[in-house]
A = this chain, B = another copy of it.
């Protein structure tokens, strides 16, 4: 068992790969995407309640399924994220964002 107390986005995606790649591959992109949507529904329900632990649990599931989906889609989630969001707003190029829309 691997214990962690901090996590790069890339490391998390790799951990999800070690844990779930066989099942994720078998389920496929569409099935995994639909599961992610279900998890987002559960997150929405948790956000309407007042149970912080339940809400944390659903946030964890949301990023977990997003990482699983990225794994079977051949996407490096951390690279994709840094490519777009790297310390400034990708639209107005400022930090904080000063977009006027």
- Which residues does chain B contribute within 8 Å of A81, judged by CB atoms? 7, 12, 59-60, 63-64
Knowing A6-B10, A8-B7, the reply to whether A63 touches B60 (Cβ < 8 A) is no
Shortest CB distance A19–B (Å): 5
Interface size on A, residues (CB 8 A): 60
Shortest CB distance A101–B (Å): 10
Main SS of the interface on chain A? Answer: helix
Shortest CB distance A17–B (Å): 9
Residue on B nearest A44 in the bound complex, by CB: B33
A84 touches B66 (CB 8 A): no
B78 touches A7 (CB 8 A): yes
- Which residues does chain B contribute within 8 Å of A66, judged by CB atoms? 59, 62-63, 66
Interface residues, chain A, with chain B CB atoms under 8 Å away: 1-10, 12, 15-16, 18-23, 29, 33, 36-37, 40, 43-44, 47, 52, 55-57, 59-64, 66, 69-70, 73-75, 77-89, 95-97, 99
